[in-house]
Amino acid sequence: MAPSADASRRDFLKVATGAAVAAAAVATKASAQEKPLVGCGKTTGDAKRVGIATIGLGGQGNGDTKAMLKVPGVELVAVADCYDGRLKRAKEVYCDNLVTTRDYKEILARKDVDAVIIATPDHWHSRIAIEAMNAGKDVYVEKPMVHDVLEGLQVVDAQKKTGRILQVGSQRVSSVVYHKAKELLAAGAIGELNMVEAFWNRNSAIGAWQYTIPPDASPQTMDWERFLGPAPKRPFDPVRFFRWRNYDDYGTGVAGDLFVHLFTGIHFITGSMGPTRVFSTGGLRYWKDGRDAPDVLLGLFDYPKTAAHPEFTLTLRVNFAAGAGGEDAFRFVGPEGIMSLGRDGITITKRDPDKEPGYTIDTFPKAIQDAYLAEYHKKYPEQKGQLRTGHEERYQPPPDYNETEAHTANFVEAVRTRTPVIEDSVFGLRAAGPALLCNVSQREKRPVSWNPETMRQVESAT
């Protein structure tokens, strides 16, 4: 039997210190679903039907669709994709009578579709999201919400004008781990935040986005012109189609692909709207396969003091040719501890308060050392010279916990109840903005200023 939300919350606390903490109830709901995939005219239970369609059914489109189908009452109606092999696969995975098309506009015209998942390459996100909202659909759009910062306010305006639900698919805001981290930070678990740091080290072809090109890739099996869409015209090229992340015309580099998740997590945990200054550097060092995107990228970001958080600095880096690879870290740093977030939950490494200040007297004359020590031991009689002690606290979600299921469940709940989501178009632009400005800074070799309130790039960087 599926665990209840309360059971999930208790599991989450198993390795905690015993403090009474409440993880986000809404986020635990999704992991409780263990229903078979449902689509093509069938829905589960009595829940109000929500008809969905997926536009872009590659890796993430399938992940999002499967997660959303775990919510009772959700029915998959149709999918759109520009490679016929993925449409064929959709019928194999979901059901034979699924509506499949190369043209997403056919999906937007359907009355039986309430909401769309947009999991195309980045250069299509804002365009399809705006068209979908104007067609009366709610939207679950993958990160980064936009390909270029300048598209962001158009999405925000369209959401405001149409009143549709739009949720960006960076699932961390719905994760019990991130809700717990937010609560721990606010409770002073590491003292006053002064820095956040994260890195990914990878070293494999797949890790560096050299995805498999199917042997039947051809102008007959692929809709090359529709894939290009708003991007510059080019002759047919299956490498660009299947490895689009590597090219600026369609992807947004490691900043738009990976940093954006970190901005989402940081903004959620700290309550921040974003940094005011972005500096990024790096280059293409190893994967010289004709790609545009750097495989080594570092970013530095200034977060000014606000009512929500103190001033802090953020450092991010990615290396796609880093030794053995396979390492990553995401740490919130304060004077009293470090909070590390990983796939297995949260670890807080604490420094206990100093019991004595210590001394550096070796270079003083012997008589002065002796006199100093005599006074010191009078003042700190119990101490044995151990300046600092520390300990660790760990918080783990339940073993089967899936944050994408939590995030898609939040979306469906919002579609049904018309209540706003946290990761709406404004949140999405505040996460995408600094990530995309990394690419500007790296290309132009200069710091770039950003106004997180107005969500606009500020021309004169200081």
Ligand X SMILES: NC(=O)c1ccc[n+]([C@@H]2O[C@H](COP(=O)([O-])OP(=O)(O)OC[C@H]3O[C@@H](n4cnc5c(N)ncnc54)[C@H](O)[C@@H]3O)[C@@H](O)[C@H]2O)c1
Q: Which residues bind ligand X (CB under 6 A)?
A: 55-61, 80-83, 86, 104, 119-122, 124, 142-143, 169-171, 226-227, 229, 257
Q: Is the peptide bond before 452 cis (omega within 30 degrees of 0)?
A: no
Contact 216, 86 (CB under 8 A): no
Residue 185 burial class via C-beta count within 10 angstroms: exposed 0-12, middle 13-18, buried 19 and up: buried
Which residue number, 159 or 171, has a Cβ lying nearer to ligand X? 171
Which residue number, 269 or 348, has a Cβ lying nearer to ligand X? 269
Which residue number, 62 or 340, has a Cβ lying nearer to ligand X? 62
Which residue number, 57 or 278, has a Cβ lying nearer to ligand X? 57
**Pick from 311, 273, 304: nearest CA to 453:** 273
Contact 198, 330 (CB under 8 A): yes
Which residue number, 264 or 280, has a Cβ lying nearer to ligand X? 264
Which residue number, 39 or 61, has a Cβ lying nearer to ligand X? 61
Residue 113 burial class via C-beta count within 10 angstroms: exposed 0-12, middle 13-18, buried 19 and up: buried
- Nearest approach, Cβ of residue 60 and ligand X (Å): 3
- Nearest approach, Cβ of residue 123 and ligand X (Å): 8
Q: Which residue has the tokens 């300990």?
A: 391
- Nearest approach, Cβ of residue 377 and ligand X (Å): 57
Nearest position to ligand X, beta carbon? 58
Please spell the DSSP secondary structure of 229-265, one letter per residue: TTSPP----HHHHHTGGGSTTT--HHIIIIIHHHHHH
- Nearest approach, Cβ of residue 409 and ligand X (Å): 15
Cα 64 from Cα 59, distance rounded (Å) = 9
- Nearest approach, Cβ of residue 44 and ligand X (Å): 25
- Nearest approach, Cβ of residue 169 and ligand X (Å): 5
Q: Which residue has the tokens 């989402």?
A: 264
